[in-house]
Chains A and B, each alone.
Chain A
């Protein structure tokens, strides 16, 4: 549906907003473009929607070349910008009708389509009230409805849930999924919310400094980060907790730790074993723990790995996430290499954690390409893997997302499959009733 090769765009100020970006979106796929503000997401979407020009590279959308057939591309895409493009002083119906005329549709067709879209987006009863009176979530839904009036094959959503409250976000997510699974609509979604990319996208492209740093299914990306996190909650806050933390820091199996809001985060290789050892230590030290949560790596960790900086540092507006402190530590005892997986992620060999930390560390440096170390190109080197399997190839070969022909609830199954895959490599929950086992840390943060 979308084929972008080596796209470059330089702003007049000399800033390379897009710098050799490759992107492929398959038909019927939701592709998440994930990155902090200023990474080039919006610029990319603007180029792909014919709003912005570009300097070099090739862009094909729905089979049309953007230089030769911009009009045909405009007919094939729907575009929902960050800023609501609907008119506040018109009613929902008038907005939709105007949009229909903009796409040169017939009156009868427009009316038919308005009825369809209004019932789909649950706007029927508000259709004849002025948009000014709509809530933020309703405005967003109307915005998406207007973008779909001409039955496009491809929908761009630029930060669709920015500024929406939680119920509106969730209801919008549900609608986006349904649009994809029921109507077979291909969607390119930009977001800086990691949970949004994780929950919505079939594949996620991490965009960093105007290029794609990584592109894969969310669970594949996450599985590349080895290890697990334990979050300890204490019965009371006191100095003894800190001492306990220092004691733990001296233990082999704990790779790193950080304090956040009175909770201690521990990074370990084998979470289930660590729970037993940590609880033992706590009992010896006379510390009362109320809760131990075992967490899987989230897209936060993935993002950190691929960009070498947290989204926070790149000028994010969100509240400081728990890993920011961890990221800010730099080399303070924690070795990035231990977390980077050496083997080919395609194999999905998630249980092999015994590989030597030292060699992995070297691989990390090579993968990063930022070091002056000579790279002699080992097999299984991440860089090589990326070259062998660039993002475009996956679009054709991967069939993990539901195809257009599959039933509507395929999405659910696919998602469930993801979750079970995530859980597969972690050990079953402990019997101890005070130990809470949580499949994903992100659920806690929600």
Chain B
């Protein structure tokens, strides 16, 4: 299973490298958000109790997570394309582990968003934002991103298998992204939210990822919220991975 997953993973990486523009294209939207939101809400940071000195710095973890959501949601669409083009059938008649088909796709999507977020972090740093670029903080934040990428690529693949059609998948993906970001402290500190939104934020895995990312990128480091974030995101990723793999295994006409 590991070898099967590896060779299929290499195939997707090769395709991505062959069309690098596609990977870069996905960066445009988060970068625009970063610049525009940073400008738009720049005076927001002057509100008493605002945790950071600059709104853009506060918003960077949110932009990174937005990149993950946008980037990984393509994975399911490309799964449907592979099903329709007969590529998946070709894999299924070969004596490979069925799970490797979904696993390779999900790992590829996660690696892809890791590359994308690394680029955004670098650009944000060049723009003059004081985010920590120490190797350990970069590695930790990429780990969180990777796990979150696994989770949402799994969600996308799982939904693709359940819905079987591209259009509702795109609609659902878009519908999901915004509430997940709004019901978290990606854009606004949690203390600024009304109580009901805070409650929703508490059951939103994105919230834990945002908090963990923020404490890694904008010191001082709060170890407990980092650990909590890692555990929640890893658990969420595992559950979604399990769901998508079993959904795919059950797919048989």
**Which A residues fall within an 8 A CB radius of B?**
11, 46, 49-53, 71, 74-75, 77, 79, 81-87, 89-90, 94, 98-99, 101-104, 130, 146
Contact = CB atoms under 8 A, between A and B. Distances in A.
A71 B11 CA distance: 23
B94 A102 contact: yes
B252 A77 contact: no
B224 interface: no
Query: Which of the listed residues B84, B86, B87 has the most CB atoms from chain A within 10 Å of its own CB?
Result: B86
Contacts of B7: 98, 101-102
A71 B92 CA distance: 11
A77 B94 contact: no
A86 B8 CA distance: 13
Interface of B: 3-4, 7-8, 11, 14-15, 18-19, 84-87, 89-96, 252-253
Given A82-B86, A102-B4, A87 B11 contact: yes
Given A90-B11, A90-B15, A74 B94 contact: yes
Contact of B86 (A53, A74, A81, A130): A81
Nearest to A75: B95
Dominant SS at the A interface? loop
B3 to A, nearest CB: 7
A325 to B, nearest CB: 37
Nearest to B95: A74
Given A90-B11, A94-B14, A102-B7, A51 B86 contact: no
B84 to A, nearest CB: 7
B86 A85 contact: yes
A85 B3 contact: no
Contacts of B93: 49-51, 74, 77, 79
A82 B86 CA distance: 8
A130 B84 CA distance: 20
B89 A103 contact: no
A130 B252 CA distance: 31
B103 to A, nearest CB: 14
Contact of B87 (A11, A52, A85): A85
A79 B89 CA distance: 9
Nearest to B83: A83
Given A51-B253, A81-B86, A89-B18, 15 more contacts: A51-B89, A52-B253, A74-B94, A74-B95, A75-B95, A89-B14, A89-B15, A89-B19, A98-B8, A101-B7, A102-B4, A102-B91, A102-B95, A104-B95, A130-B18
A94 B7 CA distance: 11
A46 B253 CA distance: 9
Dominant SS at the B interface? helix
Shortest 7 CB-CB distances between A and B: which pairs?
A85-B90, A83-B86, A102-B94, A85-B86, A101-B7, A74-B95, A79-B93
Given A87-B11, A102-B7, A104-B3, A51 B92 contact: yes
B4 A83 contact: no
A99 B94 contact: yes
Contacts of B87: 85-87
Contacts of A102: 4, 7, 91, 94-96
Nearest to A72: B95
Nearest to B85: A83
Query: Which of the listed residues B7, B11, B84, B90 has the most CB atoms from chain A within 10 Å of its own CB?
Result: B90
Contacts of A85: 85-87, 89-90
Nearest to A84: B86
Contacts of A99: 90, 94
Contacts of A87: 11, 15, 87
B20 to A, nearest CB: 12
Contacts of B92: 50-51
Contacts of A53: 252-253
Contacts of B85: 83-85
Contact of A101 (B3, B19, B89): B3
Contacts of B96: 102
